[in-house]
């Protein structure tokens, strides 16, 4: 009866060792896949959310400035379209 327990104990140790080894292999494979995925995604030139929001704000500010300049230009062009009155000239005195 003691021999049967020894065989079961050895088998249980073997199975536990194999399970630990397979679990370690799984963790190592997962870490490797994560590293490859990060490397692949990093090569695609993605930007972070903070960088995207900063550029988005800069584009909105540039658009607002362009709209303001366009309105100013339109106002200036509308002023140029109207005939200007020439200022009366004063005769120069001869010295």
pLDDT for the residue 3? 57
pLDDT for the residue 45? 76
| pLDDT < 70 stretches in the chain | 1-4, 81-95
pLDDT for the residue 1? 47
pLDDT for the residue 46? 77
Angle, vertex CA 42, rays to CA 36 and CA 44, nearest 5: 110
Supply 69's token pair: 């300049």
pLDDT for the residue 68? 96
23 vs 30, 34, 86, CA distance in Å?
11, 17, 93
pLDDT digits (tens, 9 = 90+) for 62-84: 999 999 999 999 999 998 765 55
């Amino acid at each position: 009866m003691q021999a049967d327990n020894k065989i079961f104990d050895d088998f249980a140790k073997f199975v536990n060792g194999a399970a630990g080894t397979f679990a370690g292999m799984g963790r190592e494979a997962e870490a490797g896949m994560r590293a490859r995925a990060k490397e692949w995604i990093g090569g695609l030139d993605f930007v972070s959310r903070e960088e995207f929001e900063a550029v988005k704000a800069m584009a909105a500010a540039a658009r607002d400035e362009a709209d303001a300049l366009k309105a100013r230009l339109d106002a200036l062009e509308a002023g140029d379209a109207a005939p200007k009155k020439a200022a009366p000239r004063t005769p120069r005195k001869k010295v």
